[in-house]
Structure 1
């Protein structure tokens, strides 16, 4: 059962000494969490998040440890944006903890409105590059996973094989994906620290800059293309070029000539994962949505071809 806003407000006051809640409103964040924004008597805004399941609770604990590690890189300017800083915890009756942090001021990223040039698009490229420059020990020390390039390619192959068994992937599209996965040159990359779940609602922007990135529970050492794929697929083409140009300039000793090709492929494979999500959780509306998007992609790539 989902927790009510009032219950979440009570958790926030238990977690942060001196916090007196004046009002509360529900909020939505990715993942299996109950979330609310609490306004205190002194007009400060706080985000409270409580896991709904044991799996979400374990992910949240790993994220808490990672956020503490990232604080050093924020404070020293290595990361050009802030991350949530946990202000307190409240124990949950069923086990696990709710966490509270100050709400970071900014607006969610509007990907479709990105313009080319040295503004926000370029800053996005630099921000993602800064994540990818972090030492692998930052996430590995928190018990988060790490993969070799070969292991990650195998994961992608398994996803496509499972999705193919549904019979809902157009044959031409499936053959193209399989050929790309067999192309060894496409998968020669150095694994890096990746956020792993970047999306418009994970990035706060203000005055043409990325000011905060949240939602770190999927961080891992893996393919840098993962963090770029959604932007290259959703952003206007000219803005995507500015993102990649700034990203490449910010990276040091990068040797990955097929990075952009692989990122575009990863963006397409996200549709296979969306289809599998619907199949695994018996969500017919998701399955039909994914099927329609796969058909559209197949038609579009046929025309381009």
Structure 2
């Protein structure tokens, strides 16, 4: 059963000595693996308390805490142009594990639909992602989080597609296109980098026209940098996506990845396959139906694009 906001506020007062809770609120988009609340103290300072909802979430939180310490050092040294959560206290839970408390990072979730091309926020998002991908891979490795070589990562993607194919719910033309791209070894010659692993608009905070923070680091790995670009290149208007990518590439020192954008779009498509697999594994028919509908829409769109391209050939 999820913990109530009041129970989470009590945990925050245990975790941070002297914290005098004045008010407590649920965040607009609470997570599914954690119970989360924003606690406001008597000085109107805002604190975020997160309590894992399972043993797996508790283990992930411990690994994330280790990583956040290293990321905070990079932010303080100016290597990251945005803030990350910095836990300042912990409270042990009766069932095991710990709740963590950190000061709330100023900012509101990014609204992709408001981005415009040019030197403003869109470019700042590109630079922020590039700075993350420039960090030493030991940042993740030393936290005990997964590290993948390019070949190994391609094989993981192939295994996901094979599993999705066995459900019989992926349109055949879409499946063939995925398999073709996964078999193109040249497409997967990339230098693995630090990757957030679960980026979305609600993870990226914006304050005064700049990226102020990035949240949700539990899925960080060393893997394909294209994964962190996929969500934005898929959701943003093409001219905005071009601006983000241009600013990203200007900030990166690795300029020998000609297939980055293609892998990013593929990663966005394969996210639908993972959503389907989640529904199948959990027995959630609504998720399966939602994934199937999106896969069918994607299949129709890609076939229409291919037909239009063929007509110009």
Say yes or no: TM over 0.5.
yes
- Partners of 1:46 and 1:251 lie apart in 2 by 34
Structure 1 unaligned regions, length at least 5: none
- Pairwise CA RMSD: 0.9
Aligned twin of 1:177: 178
User: Does residue 6 of structure 1 match 2:6?
Assistant: yes
Q: Give 1:29 shift.
A: 4.0
- Partners of 2:189 and 2:119 lie apart in 1 by 30
- Partners of 1:126 and 1:213 lie apart in 2 by 13
Within 5 A, what are the aligned runs for 1:213-224?
213-224=214-225
Aligned twin of 2:269: 268
In the alignment of these two chains, the number of paired residues is 305
TM-score by length of 2: 0.96
Aligned twin of 1:23: 23
* 1:92–1:98 contact (8 Å) kept in structure 2: yes
Q: Give 1:102 shift.
A: 0.9
Q: Give 1:41 shift.
A: 1.3
Aligned twin of 1:258: 259
Aligned twin of 1:304: 305
* 1:30–1:215 contact (8 Å) kept in structure 2: no
- Partners of 1:232 and 1:106 lie apart in 2 by 22
Aligned twin of 1:85: 86
> Could you list the per-position Cα deviations for residues 235-268 of structure 1 after superposition, in whole angstroms to 9, with x for gaps in the alignment?
1110000000000000003311100011011111
Aligned twin of 1:187: 188
Q: Give 1:30 shift.
A: 3.8
* 1:31–1:56 contact (8 Å) kept in structure 2: no
User: Does residue 40 of structure 1 match 2:41?
Assistant: yes
Structure 2 unaligned regions, length at least 5: 307-313
* CA pair 31-148 structure 1, distance change in 2 beyond 3 A: farther
> Could you list the per-position Cα deviations for residues 105-160 of structure 1 after superposition, in whole angstroms to 9, with x for gaps in the alignment?
11100112211111111111100000100001111001001000011001100111
- Partners of 1:32 and 1:290 lie apart in 2 by 21
Within 5 A, what are the aligned runs for 1:1-305?
1-27=1-27, 28-305=29-306
